[in-house]
Amino acid sequence: MHYWLKLLVGVLAATMFAAAGFAQTPIRIGVLLPLTGPFAKNGIENWEAMKIARDMINERGGINGRKIEYLEGDATSPAAAISETERLITKEGIKITTGSFASPLAIAVSQAAERHGVFHWETTGAAEIITRRGFKHTFQVGAPARKYGQAAVDFIIDDLAKRLNKPVSSLRIALLWENRAFGKSVGDGIRAYTGKKGIKLVYDEGYDQFSTDMTPIVQKLKDSKPDIVIAISFPNDAILFQRKAKELNFNVSAFIGVSAGYSSPDLRASIGNMVNGIFVADFPPKVNPNVLKPEVRKIADEFYKRYEKKMGRPPAGHATAGFSAIWALFTDVLPKAKTFEPDELRDIALKLDLPEGSLVNGSGIKFTNFDWPDNPKDAGQNLRASIGVWQWTKGGNEEVFPPKLATHEPIMVPLPSWDKR
Amino acid sequence: MTTLGQLVLSGIFIGAIYALMSIGLTLIFGVLRIVNFAHGEFLMLGMYGAWAMTRLLGLNPYLAMIAVVPAMFLFGGLVYRLIVSPALDKPHLVVVFATMGLSIFMQNAALMLMSADLFDIPPVFGHAVTIGPLYFKAELVVGFVITVICTLVLQWALKSTYLGKAIRATVQDREAAMLMGIPVPRIFLITFAGGSALVGLAACVMMPLFSVFPTVGLNFVLIAFVIVVLGGMGSISGALIGGICVGIVQSLSSYYVAPAFGQMFFFILFLLVMIFRPNGLLGQKGAADIGIAD
């Protein structure tokens, strides 16, 4: 009897061990996003997009049979981003991190990850410095800051100037930027790029995004009589600016916001139809499906459907970018990995050579590796990240530039004055 | 000249609104001699209240005051009873951390309940007020008028009503006031609740002008602290003058120097006042120790 009992226990134990060995352990990824605090709005949208990607891949059986598991870190501020990243790495043993929406957070997260030799897949952070610190394991899938500005300027040169019937040289262009990492980085990029193209800016000033009174800014802009304003703002200051522009009756022929505030769905909720006609240089929220590979088109459709169902509105550009980047990690990087060690993942990432249209937002992937002629210090920046200009319309938004990605022609050029809007 | 007029008048109007949201803080500081670090979050709560009254019940935001102000009075009373009063006779740092903790708690509670979305109400008046070539949002002018009325009424109430006199007596000498039969703990409660009600009033005035979101208080609370100190801690008319000074300085320096320096200049003004009039513009000597000034 004793013998049988022992045997039974032995067999049971063996079965359990075997089961444990065969049941695939999940692939654990640390997601660092601002889920509370001032950036939470966009952070949460990004988080929802990332969760949709996780659910979609797990429903398809995971990656080579292994499910994806997220461990979240609340990167409220750069300091919190560092401590949360370190917590996930040292306490939870995370080897892959992703996130982190805003540039200052991306700078912090990637720094903590690099210190521990952890693979960081940055989805949306844009500041140029992210990939210029000699880091080996940081990959920035989204477009770098200068491209946002270049898209805005190219749009003026290639499209708006013709629609306004003015040579580019006689257009009066004003540049307004919030003076933190993102705004300054984009502003610097625009200044350099317009300089190269021989365009003079009639106004060029930074402001604090927590400004509570926009009167002096709008008044000064008004006095400089611009045809076109390019503005880099966050949601709250973008709203205050537009209201003040209406109050002071400040009219321009075209208004181009760059990402962040002007791409936020809050803008329409807050200022209603005043938003129609504003252009936004940004990650495309949605691109012309014809540029996407057929299998990517299906993924894109499913993502848009799920996101709208969950959030009650279509995704902003950064949320689509978050989804696109993490989906690329799931389908083009992780399936090729065996050890899932950061060095192996780095080699896989550096070998990626995906043409434009491979990601849901129209991007391709080709990373720099200290070999880019424009900046040999750059490593891990995606040279094929898509960026363009879209426009707020009555029904939602339409991609208008570059023509390849466009879903619609630009409308409301020149922009009607406030009393006619 | 037009530009200068536009900037100065806009500065005055917005400055008055800054003053209105600071009066509650200065009142509480003057009487209880504590700084409420959750002041910005009280403003946030009031703004959500005004938003809800306007969007959900369809009230005019100025009518929303009828509900928001008493509700904020009750909320202030509750906070006083539960958080402030137990900490009053403890070392000063305890109140600082208690109110700071409350501030973080309120921010995150708002984030959970309301999400990080920005909420707005439609404009109350369709058109801007024009004075010659100058444009002003009517809501801004209304805010200015409400602030002036509110300051005058408060001044009068502190001077002439029994409660006002009791508050001033408490400020001058707590022990003596207690000996004269003034219920000091109740005066504290009423002041804290009253200060909160004033923030509620400010919230209703500000809701047509600004969006509300969980961290909206952070954008304003620093300005409020500067105004309270600038005007003379505890001085109500000082807060009005301090607020208007901050508004004008911010407006002019942002235009003539650079928008990024707007805040720097009002802190320079702040430092100058601290150097030459350490008790604030209208404060009396040792206001931080004595409390309310007028």
Residue A369 to chain B, least CA–CA distance (Å): 37
Residue A5 has pLDDT above 70, yes or no: no
Are A165 and A256 within one domain? Answer: yes
User: Does one domain contain both A125 and A46?
Assistant: yes
Element spanning A96, H or E? strand A96-99
A40 and A133 assigned to the same domain? yes
| Res B288: pLDDT | 54
Q: For residue A170, with 0-12 CB atoms within 10 Å meaning exposed, 13-18 middle and 19 or more buried, which class applies?
A: exposed
Residues A404 and A259 in one domain: yes
pLDDT band at A13 (very low <50, low <70, confident <90, very high): low
Residue A4 domain-assigned (yes or no): no
| Across A378-389, average pLDDT | 93
pLDDT at B41 over 90: yes
* Full set of structural domains in chain B with CATH: 2-290 (1.10.3470)
Residue A299 has pLDDT above 80, yes or no: yes
A211 in a structural domain: yes
Share above pLDDT 70 across residues of chain B, in percent, rounded to a whole number? 96
pLDDT band at B293 (very low <50, low <70, confident <90, very high): very low
* Claim to verify: residue A398 and residue A362 sit in the same structural domain: no
Residue A10 lies in a domain: no
CA nearest to B53, candidates B67, B42, B41: B67
Chain A residue with minimum CA distance to B246: A213
Q: What is the pLDDT of residues B246-258, one digit of tens each?
A: 999 988 988 888 8
Question: Which residues constitute the domain of residue A211?
Answer: 146-282+389-420
Q: Which residue of A has its CA nearest to B10?
A: A215
Residues A154 and A221 in one domain: yes
A107-120: pLDDT as tens digits: 999 999 999 999 99
At residue A22 the predicted structure's pLDDT band, cuts being 50, 70 and 90, is very low
For residue A421, the model assigns a pLDDT of 77
Same domain, A153 and A84: no
Q: For residue B289, is pLDDT > 80?
A: no
In a domain, A110, yes or no: yes
- pLDDT tier at A38, thresholds 50, 70, 90: confident
A215 touches chain B (CB under 8 A): yes
Task: Name the pTM for this structure.
Answer: 0.78
Nearest to A319 by CA among A36, A101, A74, A140: A101
Rounded to an integer, the average pLDDT of B225-247 is 88
Residues A62-73: pLDDT tens digits? 999 999 999 999
Angle value at C-alpha A381, between A379 and A386, nearest 5 degrees: 165
Q: Does residue A17 lie within any of the structural domains?
A: no
CB A416 within 8 A of CB A407: no
Centre a 10 Å sphere on the Cβ of residue A317 and count the other Cβ atoms it contains.
27
pLDDT category at B231 given cuts 50, 70, 90 is confident
Question: Is the Cβ of B3 closer than 8 Å to some Cβ of chain A?
Answer: yes
Per-residue model confidence as pLDDT tens digits over B264-277: 888 888 888 888 88
Residue A2 lies in a domain: no
- Alpha carbon distance A178, A190 (integer Å): 13
CB contact under 8 A, B118 and A219: no
- Is residue A210 situated within a structural domain? yes
Same domain, yes or no: A331 and A268: no
Nearest to A40 among B116, B255, B259 (CB): B116
- Residues A251 and A298 reside in one and the same domain: no
Q: Residue A49 is part of a domain; what is its CATH number?
A: 3.40.50.2300
- B118 interfaces chain A, CB cutoff of 8 Å: yes
Question: Tell me, what's the pLDDT at B183?
Answer: 92
Of B120, B219, B260, the CB nearest to A270: B120
Q: Are residues A304 and A380 in the same domain?
A: yes
Domain count, chain A: 2
* Same domain for A106 and A54: yes
Mean pLDDT of chain A, nearest integer: 90
Domain membership of residue A188 (yes or no) is yes
The DSSP line for A329-352 is IIIIIGGG-SS--HHHHHHHHHH-
Say if B267 is an interface residue toward chain A (CB within 8 Å): no
CA separation for the pair A32, A76 (Å, rounded): 9
Q: What is the pLDDT averaged over residues A37-65?
A: 92
Instruction: State how far residue B244 is from chain A, nearest Cα, in angstroms.
Output: 13
Are A155 and A131 contained in the same domain?
Answer: no
What value does the mean pLDDT take over residues B47-75? 93
Cis bond before residue A402 (omega within 30° of 0): yes
The residue of chain A nearest to residue B9, with distances taken between CA atoms, is A215
Chain B contact for A225 (CB, 8 A cutoff): no
pLDDT at position A122 over 90: yes
- What chain B residue is nearest to A218 in terms of C-alpha separation? B255
Q: With H, G, I as helix, E, B as strand and everything else as coil, classify residue A105.
A: helix
